[in-house]
Structure 1
């Protein structure tokens, strides 16, 4: 019997408390509702990651972007006979005239040796960091006597006086010293060559041309091969790569950067490349190893896909790890609610839907704490702080709900194991799926074991 000041119990709440089916639907509905703030958290992570990329791109653009080197290449014009049929205006007869049409041939070095010293450093702006570097590359090699046998016709004349040396790089802004090439003891200065570009290059990296001044006859391989040397001093970021255009290309890249990542179409051959501090990597690429010849008679092709080199980007991506962690948010919320559901069902202790909602929001706060702390520390520290804070918060809140100590302790231990399990999965790469599947199987088995005592007819 109700007293005058008492209110009748809420029938909906009473139904949820008394019906297992109703509690199951309520828990499932709240889990789906909490996917909305979880979705916004994932968008926040993506937004912060995009902001990081914008800041890194701005730093790299001012310092010097990634470096791709293509050259040196010997450019030799030549003429081919062209027959044209014209009408004689006087006799009204047709005559065949032979004229000369100029073409250009491109010849790659017979031998190309390069040694590169890269000195990286970390640049920061606000909370964001990126890797930049200055590099010094010494080129040595030789050009063989040009072979015009594969030209589209028999050359009438080779225009040696118009011969030049071409050199291409993706980062003209980063060049910090004049670029010269020494051919048979004579130096020739490179200058930028303007090229009208329509649209963007098909490759991710666009190359810009430099061309030498006129080459003296004694510096050209007209009768015998000529040797060359040149130096390139250039600032860059992210990575440095070279295209192996020599008939034999030998390269050596050294640096004190420890978190290296060899990239491109060819890998270093020396086994001791990572001994000591930094790395000392060596490559040897033969013409038979790549699918292009030593000379071209139509145009200079784009060969970016065959480059090799080293990537200096900072390998630890806190945003990527946070994004992967957030993808397990549905699993964490679902399993945590399942623990409270089983405790409520087995112990007959009432838990209000609002209390479930507060627990779910506490679980969502883990991800905002994780992303905000990781921007000022490393991922491990952020994960520890965020997980400890959330586990303590939910355990203390459970103590006030469940009115005893054993259930909050069990919940705290369960959440600790769950967050530890997810951290291990995030760290793994090759075995993440295997470990995750085994872990979920064990969790399912435990739930089946505990739930066997529940009277589902109540």
Structure 2
């Protein structure tokens, strides 16, 4: 065994491997691919950072909304009618050997929904800021009007003489008791009745607070006509406004200066009258009793009808952190395409680019997202995107000038990165057409790469 050749053979093998790494296209592709995978690690940490900051924003928004006023859901007004029921008990008397009958009177309640419920809602939206974070809030005035038919209870087995008319009242339930801005007054014919919080009334859900009017005079319920009641409620609120359509015919008209409404719930507004512009929106709803599966009279308890609510959500459709998160999702694409450009330049021009230089370029690309998130917290997203994009493009362009030793390749790389970041910005601004535009853009990029790489001899190495 000739051991004297072993070090020489090892050196030759090392030189062959080193030459293979420098000259082989396959080796360069493997190295570049490995570096792309490695750079997914800092990208994942950036995504975690964005989510943490978005959670912090959500906490601040919740704190602002809790102090200003939460979402507004109105369930009512409904007429609360007390009525008497009777039960009979028999007691056996040992002395007389007879049964004594005793009749007990019980007080129960019937809840009557209005025959017609009209709601005119005017919403003034604005933003509240806390440090670098802000929340969209609103002040709304809701005007309700309509009429009841409280005597239609015979089919429920309630006799008119058993109704206690002088103990009747009107209930309104809401999620935002704290956000009410002014005293509430029920106007019924020529009389006015104040509301107060009632903690003892039946609730349809634990999160709804109950407001109950003072007792209504009996003569005000004896001859109810159209538009015989009206109530105005002013709220400070946030997120959304919902109404439960308890009227046999329920209409709601809503106007606001909010430019990006999201109509939510079981019923959508009328398309013919709906108007949305940069200055706000106007929408009208009409819900008939045949459109929902509940009756106008309920005995003993108020049913939970939250599933039938409809209204408008007042939220930023795509906030700064959502945009940053969507932008970071394209981080892999940006790094891969940038490395592909450098790889094609290296392969076609025979310029040697060290893996460390690839790594520095990749880290510069990941820095774009940390710059974007940090700057967007102190400015709007467009300015943050421009500053981060220009900084990274200039950095990589100048760095590539020292690597490639020519001017045309760095200029091409700078223009390519500018086009790529512009393309991604357009995609993240779109909502309905993001997938379509993204697919077309990727197809065009693939076609360009196929065209440019057609003359490369892939079999050499």
Using a 3 Å threshold, how does the CA distance of structure 1 residues 224 and 416 change in structure 2: closer, same or farther? closer
CA root-mean-square deviation: 3.0
2:74 alignment partner, SS class: strand
Match of 1:4? none
Superposition deviation, residue 275 in structure 1: 7.1
**Which residue number in structure 2 is paired with residue 245 of structure 1?**
246
Instruction: Give the corresponding residue for 2:397.
Output: 395
**Equivalent in 418, 421, 445 of residue 420 of structure 2:** 418
1:141 paired residue number: 146
Structure 1 pair 401–96 and aligned structure 2 pair: CA distance change class (3 A) = farther
Partner residue in 2 for 1:124: 129
Structure 1 unaligned regions, length at least 5: 1-7
Following the alignment from structure 1 to structure 2, what is the Cα–Cα distance between the partners of residues 280 and 363? 44
Aligned residues of 1:79 and 1:155 also touching (Cα < 8 A): no
Paired residues of 1:273 and 1:282 also in contact (CA < 8 A): no
User: Which structure shows the higher helix fraction?
Assistant: 2
For 2:202 and 2:107, how far apart are their aligned partners in 1?
Answer: 23
Mean CA deviation greater in 266-275 or 395-404: 266-275
C-alpha contact (below 8 Å) 1:100/1:156 kept by paired residues: no
Q: Are the structure 2 counterparts of residues 310 and 169 from structure 1 closer, same or farther at C-alpha, using a change threshold of 3 Å?
A: same
Secondary structure in structure 1 of the residue aligned to 2:423:
helix
Q: Bigger shift: 358-367 or 312-321?
A: 312-321
Give the alignment of 1:267-416 within 5 angstroms.
267-269=268-270, 271=273, 273-274=275-276, 277-416=279-418
The reply to whether residue 52 of structure 1 matches residue 57 of structure 2 is: yes
What is the aligned partner in structure 1 of residue 229 from structure 2?
Answer: 228
Match of 2:210 in 1: 209
TM-score, scaled to structure 1: 0.87
User: Once the 2 structures are TM-superposed, how far is the Cα of residue 150 of structure 1 from its aligned partner?
Assistant: 4.3
Within-5 A mapping of 1:164-175: 164-175=169-180
When residues 439 and 121 of structure 1 are mapped into structure 2, their CA distance, relative to the original with a 3 A threshold, is closer
**Equivalent position SS for 2:287:** strand
Stretch of structure 1 that moved more, 403-412 or 142-151: 142-151
Instruction: Answer yes or no: is the 8 Å Cα contact 1:183–1:219 preserved in 2.
Output: yes
Q: Retained in 2: the 8 A contact 1:425–1:435?
A: yes
Whole-Å Cα distance in 1 between the matches of residues 175 and 269 of structure 2? Answer: 23
1:75 aligns with one of 52, 77, 80:
80
Counterpart CA distance in 2 for 1:433 and 1:343 is: 30
> SS where residue 34 of structure 1 aligns?
helix
Q: Which runs of 5+ in 2 are unaligned?
A: 1-11
Match of 2:112 in 1: 107
Residue range with higher mean Cα deviation, 329-338 or 251-260: 251-260
Q: How many residues align?
A: 446
Q: Give a deviation string over 1:387-424, Cα, whole Å, max 9, x none.
A: 22212211111111111122222222222222222222
SS for the counterpart of 1:182 is strand
Change (3 A) 1:224 1:343: closer
In the alignment, the residues of structure 1 paired with residue 277 and residue 390 of structure 2 have an alpha-carbon distance, to the nearest angstrom, of 39
Per-residue CA deviations over 1:36-76 (Å, capped at 9, x if unaligned) read: 11011111111111111111111111111111111111111
TM-score by structure 2 length? 0.87
Counterpart CA distance in 1 for 2:200 and 2:361 is 63
Change (3 A) 1:114 1:224: closer
Residues in 1 aligned to 2:144 and 2:262: alpha-carbon distance in whole angstroms: 23
SS of residue paired to 2:378: coil
**Once the 2 structures are TM-superposed, how far is the Cα of residue 17 of structure 1 from its aligned partner?**
1.4
